Amino acid sequence: MPANPPGPAAPQDSPPAPRSAFENWISLSGTVVAAGSFFAFVFLFAIEAFTGDRNQYLGILTFVVAPIFLITGLLAILIGWLIHRRRIARCAPDTPRALLTIDLSRPRDRRNFIVFLGGAFLFLLLTAFGSYETFHYTESVQFCGTLCHTVMEPEHVAYQKGEHARVACVQCHVGGGAGYYLKSKISGARQLYALAFNTYNRPIPTPIHNLRPAQDTCEQCHWPERFTGSLERRYDHLLSDKTNSTTTVRLLLKVGGGGRGPENGIHWHMAKANKVEYYATDDKRQDIVWVRTTVGGGAGHVYRKADFKGEPPAAGIRTMDCVDCHTRPAHNYRNPNDLIEQSVRDGHIAAAQFPLLKRRVAAALSAEYASVPEAMEKISTALQTQYPASPAREAMIAEVQTLYRENFFPLMKANWKAYPNNIGHKNWPGCFRCHNDELLAGAAKPPITQNDCNSCHVILAQGQGAQLSQLAPEGVEFVHPGGETSGLLCSDCHNGTNQ
Ligand code: HEC
Ligand code: HEC
Ligand code: HEC
Ligand code: HEC
Ligand code: HEC
Ligand code: HEC
């Protein structure tokens, strides 16, 4: 048979059009996922931008979930391509590889090249923008405070009531710098695991051992050079007697500092040239048995309790910083006493109408409840049986319920008892952990003790009514409203509830 006359361009003779290695299921699925998530990102972003919606789930969808899918999709395209390319090379070794030749003098290549450049530019721009937004989102109060709602609820609620409600969580918990950002994300991943497998602690334990040193966080906004002078504070209390009588202490707290003038007063511990180190035998840092000072850059003293022999383990020695006193700058779960006293002071409850108010409300607030609804019901029942019906009673009960919801979190077991407040010395040992007669530096050196009640503060006035306007600048002796204290620590009797 005569051979077919060869045509001008016999199709079977030209090499078969090289199959693109992108044509495989993995890459194709990747393309669908990537394109889908890209549009989802744009769409969600538009919703957030145009509606001003601040829903936390929208944020996580836009800046965490969509980018994860986008990147997974792009990776799948690449992986599919790699696998398929190898397979083509193995099954048909003779198949010519598509060689990439770009000839910018060809209009088609020129057009493709421009499209490619434009696409790459857009992609990089979006990636930069996306990762910037993702970074910001994972640094937001919304992300830290509301995402795992139950777990962070106590911290978030108390935070909103504190002085730092406008300071982002990460400004204290992470601070600046890439290293700590990464560290916090790694620890965040661990927390996510604990959340998923329900292995997290209730309450979340403190002290936070890897909290960033306060020099890098607190001192970004409050720097010790700026601490000067004294602060006047007024502490209004109710007694647990029938008439809810009042008693007030006015103090001038010698906060002091190391800025202008000599380094003295309460912030003496934080002056640049001083260092206070300590060793506590318990995890909550309450039982301090050993203290070492560096004063003015030179040697200071070593104080120890008589029954603590030997040297503390080097890893257990902590250098005192802001959070050793300010343990609750942002999450102050208030105690029942303070809550009821403040409510009366602010005029939310007319104490005169409710005999024994302080005692009864403190008891209702400090009882153990398994959940908030249970607490609401039992608080209401208890107070209803104790006081005759009246509109004022219902308003009082509603106020007490609000106090509970804002300061007690039974699901996380978070409340004032779980977290020591080391400022002061009334309900927790606080300053008296070190300022006591037991930590001694040998016979020659007096103890850290400031047994003189006017050394950290001046008691300007105390009592009621007119007594409070007779100020004594040099300080008066404290008259304890509860009678003889028998040399006990204040916190041996006071614990925020009045038993
Ligand atoms: C002004 C600084 C500051 C801010 C702002 C802040 N925290 Fe804290 N946070 C602290 C300190 C200090 C502790 C206690 C550390 C310790 O005792 O070791 C703490 C403790 C915690 C704890 C441990 C449990 C507890 O209740 O003590 C969690 C959880 C926490 N913070 C979450 C958050 C979240 C979420 C936000 C934002 C809504 C936030 N924090 C904002 C300073 C801050
Ligand atoms: C991003 C800035 C910022 C950071 C970080 C920060 N604070 Fe503050 N702090 C503030 C602001 C703002 C106030 C409110 C001042 C006011 O209300 O007058 C405040 C108030 C306070 C107050 C109460 C002052 C008063 O007059 O009653 C204390 C105490 C305090 N901060 C301690 C801390 C401690 C401890 C840390 C670190 C754990 C910290 N702050 C971290 C900005 C910051
Ligand atoms: C020895 C305990 C102690 C240490 C350490 C300490 N503080 Fe204080 N600070 C106090 C006490 C007590 C007050 C009095 C106010 C009060 O009762 O809240 C106070 C008041 C403040 C105030 C409000 C008054 C003012 O002068 O503006 C700020 C802000 C503050 N501290 C920040 C800090 C920061 C930041 C650090 C760490 C660099 C720090 N403190 C370290 C005990 C301490
Ligand atoms: C970890 C131990 C420790 C804790 C906790 C502590 N201090 Fe001190 N404080 C010291 C030591 C040590 C000195 C130095 C004593 C000396 O040199 O005689 C000191 C000194 C002082 C001074 C005198 C500073 C001066 O002018 O010379 C004041 C005021 C003071 N502390 C207040 C407080 C207050 C208020 C608290 C609680 C909020 C507190 N301290 C908590 C260890 C501590
Ligand atoms: C080491 C420093 C220091 C010494 C010593 C000291 N205080 Fe205080 N005291 C404080 C600080 C700090 C506060 C403020 C606590 C706060 O802001 O909640 C305070 C608060 C008080 C209050 C008000 C508490 C309240 O809730 O009404 C009284 C009352 C008081 N001190 C009495 C005394 C008496 C009495 C002595 C002597 C036995 C004494 N203090 C010794 C640091 C000290
Ligand atoms: C032996 C136990 C005991 C000791 C120790 C003690 N108190 Fe009291 N305190 C009481 C009692 C009881 C009352 C009366 C409570 C009431 O009527 O609600 C009281 C009342 C008070 C009040 C007014 C009411 C209130 O609940 O705030 C203040 C302020 C106070 N004490 C401060 C202190 C200080 C500061 C110290 C340490 C220097 C101290 N107390 C040590 C038992 C004690």
Does 392 share its domain with 467? no
* Residue 92 within any structural domain of the chain: no
Does 466 share its domain with 319? yes
Count of beta carbons in the 10 Å neighbourhood of residue 115? 10
Rounded Cα gap, residues 257 and 224, in angstroms: 6
Q: What confidence score (pLDDT) does residue 1 get?
A: 41
Residue 168: give the domain boundaries. Answer: 141-200
* Residue 111 within any structural domain of the chain: no
CB distance 398 to ligand 5 below 6 Å: no
* Residue 282 within any structural domain of the chain: yes
Does 393 share its domain with 449? no
Rounded Cα gap, residues 393 and 38, in angstroms: 57
Structure tokens given for 314: 């080097």
Does 377 share its domain with 436? no
Q: What confidence score (pLDDT) does residue 265 get?
A: 86
Of 200, 215, 240, the position where a domain reaches its end is 200
Does 310 share its domain with 343? no
CB distance 270 to ligand 2 below 6 Å: no
Query: Which residue's alpha carbon is at the smallest distance from atom 23 of ligand 4?
Result: 265
* Residue 196 within any structural domain of the chain: yes
Question: Phi, psi at residue 353, to the nearest 5°?
Answer: -80, -10
Rounded Cα gap, residues 450 and 454, in angstroms: 8
Q: What confidence score (pLDDT) does residue 213 get?
A: 85
Strand, coil or helix: what is 200?
A: coil
Ramachandran sector of residue 485 (left: φ over 0; alpha: ψ -120 to 50; beta: rest): alpha
* Residue 195 within any structural domain of the chain: yes
Query: Which residue's alpha carbon is at the smallest distance from atom 27 of ligand 3?
Result: 227
Rounded Cα gap, residues 311 and 277, in angstroms: 13
Q: Are 174 and 208 in contact (CB under 8 A)?
A: no
Does 345 share its domain with 446? no
**DSSP per residue, 120-183:** HHHHHHHHHHHHHHHHHHHTSHHHHHHTTHHHHHHHHHHHHHSTTTTS-HHHHHT-SSHHHHHH
CB distance 270 to ligand 3 below 6 Å: yes
Does 371 share its domain with 426? no
Digit-by-digit pLDDT tens for the chain (499 residues) are: 444 444 444 444 555 555 677 788 888 899 988 888 888 888 887 877 776 655 656 777 777 778 888 889 999 999 998 988 888 888 776 666 655 677 888 888 888 889 889 988 887 787 777 777 777 777 787 777 777 667 888 999 999 999 999 998 888 988 777 777 777 777 777 777 787 778 888 898 888 887 888 888 998 898 777 777 889 999 999 999 999 999 999 999 998 865 555 667 898 888 888 899 999 999 999 999 999 999 888 888 999 999 998 899 999 999 999 999 999 999 999 999 999 999 999 999 999 999 999 999 999 999 999 999 999 999 999 999 999 999 999 999 999 999 999 999 999 999 999 999 999 999 999 999 999 988 988 877 777 866 688 889 999 999 999 999 999 988 999 999 988 988 889 999 999 987 5
Q: What confidence score (pLDDT) does residue 7 get?
A: 44
Cis-peptide, bond into residue 373, ω within 30° of zero = no
Query: Which residue's alpha carbon is at the smallest distance from atom 6 of ligand 6?
Result: 490
Of 397, 418, 439, the position where a domain reaches its end is 418
Name the residue of 291, 318, 431 whose CB sits within 8 Å of the most ligand 4 atoms, as the mutation to test its pocket. Answer: 431
Does 403 share its domain with 255? no
How many Cα neighbours within 13 Å face the side chain of 424? 14
* Residue 101 within any structural domain of the chain: no
Does 340 share its domain with 458? no
End-to-end CA distance of the chain: 115
* Residue 230 within any structural domain of the chain: yes
Ramachandran sector of residue 279 (left: φ over 0; alpha: ψ -120 to 50; beta: rest): beta
Q: Are 164 and 172 in contact (CB under 8 A)?
A: yes
Question: Which DSSP letter does residue 239 get?
Answer: -
* Domain total in the chain: 3
Q: Are 325 and 431 in contact (CB under 8 A)?
A: yes
Task: Give residues (CB < 6 A) around ligand 1.
Answer: 141, 144-145, 152, 154-156, 159, 164, 167, 169, 171-173, 204, 206-208, 211, 323, 327, 329-331, 414, 419
Question: Phi, psi at residue 374, to the nearest 5°?
Answer: -65, -45
Helix, strand, coil percentages in the chain from 3-state DSSP, rounded to 5: 45, 10, 45
* Residue 305 within any structural domain of the chain: yes
Does 478 share its domain with 462? yes
Does 313 share its domain with 451? yes
Query: Which residue's alpha carbon is at the smallest distance from atom 11 of ligand 5?
Result: 424
Query: Which residue's alpha carbon is at the smallest distance from atom 27 of ligand 2?
Result: 163
Query: Which residue's alpha carbon is at the smallest distance from atom 32 of ligand 3?
Result: 222
Does 440 share its domain with 407? no
Question: Residue 281: CB partners within 8 Å, gap ≥ 6?
Answer: 287, 289, 308
Q: Identify the sign of the CA torsion 444, 281, 267, 292.
A: positive
Of 398, 418, 438, the position where a domain reaches its end is 418
Q: What is the pLDDT of residues 248-264, one digit of tens each?
A: 999 999 988 655 556 67
Q: What confidence score (pLDDT) does residue 494 get?
A: 94
Count of beta carbons in the 10 Å neighbourhood of residue 270? 26
Query: Which residue's alpha carbon is at the smallest distance from atom 6 of ligand 5?
Result: 453
Name the residue of 171, 212, 220, 222 whose CB sits within 8 Å of the most ligand 3 atoms, as the mutation to test its pocket. Answer: 222
